[in-house]
Each structure stands twice: as C-alpha cells, then as structure tokens.
Structure 1
C-alpha cells in the first residue's frame, strides 16, 4: 500500500461518489478530504493503511456535511443545473445509471460496506477497521447490500 496521498485520489473519488451521489458534491468532498489529510498529516503513522486513513477522514467529513446541511436550507432541490439535459443513449450508460441509482437507494451503512469492499477492493478486515465494527458485521452488510442491489436490478441469484 502506498503512502503517497496522490496514489489514492481515484479511490477517494469512487468512495465520494458512492456517498454523495452527485459529481460536484463528490469532488468537493474529495478536496475537503485532501485538505484535511494535508492539515493533519502529522497524525498519520507510516506503514499503516493510507487509503483507510483517507477514507476515514472522508467519511467523517461526509457526516459533518450532512449535519451542516440539516441546519441549512440552500434551495438545491430547485436548481435546474442539477438535472441532466440529455439522457445517455447507450445501453451500458443506462445500466450504469441504474446501478448508481440502486446503490444510492441502499441504506447508508450497506452502501458504505459495498463500496469499500466490492468497489474499492478493501479487505473485510480493513473495512471493519474503517467503519469501526466487527468483521462479521461488514460481511453481513456486504452480503445484504449485494442482495438488495440484485433485487433492485432484477437479477436472480
């Protein structure tokens, strides 16, 4: 595992998109995470899981932002720029949108586990440390999240 923050930006973007849903909000979250990581770089211990450390920072910023948003009314739901002007026409694009929507519809604790383990490729052990719960809980959340996704997408199995 690399100790260079820049090596983990792609994984952070994926995690941020899974948490936030919107691209702009996800990019802002990545930037906030990187700023925090630089600001608190003295707390990182060499040889530990850099990606896990960064994801923990991101997750904490995400929850802080949710708390802030509950207190603020920005009118973002009425913003016309948030809606797509033309839908994609390729089947793969539609399937990707369906998967993204199904992922966003999962309860947050299942979505986090699915993204960390299945999308980012972290081990169950690292995911349990990151999410601060037992490894059995992570395995259960990933399994249930995967089954919920299959049901939403109409897959059998």
Structure 2
C-alpha cells in the first residue's frame, strides 16, 4: 500500500458520501480528514495500512461531529436567521403577469366590464352608462369575466 495520502482521496470521498449522504458535507469531511492527517502525520507508522488509518480518522471525525451537533442547540422556529430579510416578490410579479395575460385573452366586452367595475371601481350603473348597455348585461359580463379569470388563474381548481 502506498504511503502517499493523495492516492486515497477517491476512496475517502466514497466513504465520506456513505457516512454523510450529502455531497457537500462529504467534501467537507474529506477536507477535515486530510487536515487532521497532516496535523497527526507524526503518529502514522510507515509500512502500515494508510487507507485504514485515514478511514479511521474520517470515521472518528464524523462521529465526533455528530455528537457535537447533537449537543449544540440550534435556533428555534422564531430564529431571525430563518426569516427572510426581504419578502419574496417574484410570486406576485408572476401572478400579475398571469392576470394580465388572462385579461388579454378574454373577449373585449368582458374585459371592459371587469376593468371598469373591479379595477377602477365604477358602479354597475356607471359602467352600464359608459358601455351603453343594460345594468343586467354589465352584471352578467362581470360575473363571466370573474369566472374566466378564476379558471385561468387556478386551473387545478375548476369551478
């Protein structure tokens, strides 16, 4: 068996992945093992199995870290580090784009009615005057426009 530590890096990575699971944690464990091996190089006896020596260092480091993390108290559910510093705006931006697309796709007479009543805030009577139709027609158009928007924006919940 070679006494060159670097010849055992691939085997160390495989063993670390079997211990840690996560690739990032495994890489950290390999680095910690290599560092510990360098620090304790004077304890290695030439002619013995270096791979077994490195695996022992890795295993001991892993279980020491596990015990240490079990003793450390992590932050609770109200920990400030768990709270986003800036509320996410992407979802609202995407929902706005979906709404605009749904409005553009609907027939113009429904779009005009829903914009006047629901967005601008006109009364049904004023919207009827603006669009030159009966108030019942406006109510019907607004209702149908809402249903179109509901179906377009919540396709998993058909109504």
TM class by shorter chain equals 0.3 to 0.5
**Highest CA radius of gyration, 1 or 2?**
2
TM-score by length of 1: 0.46
Higher relative contact order (CA 8 A, sep 6+): 1
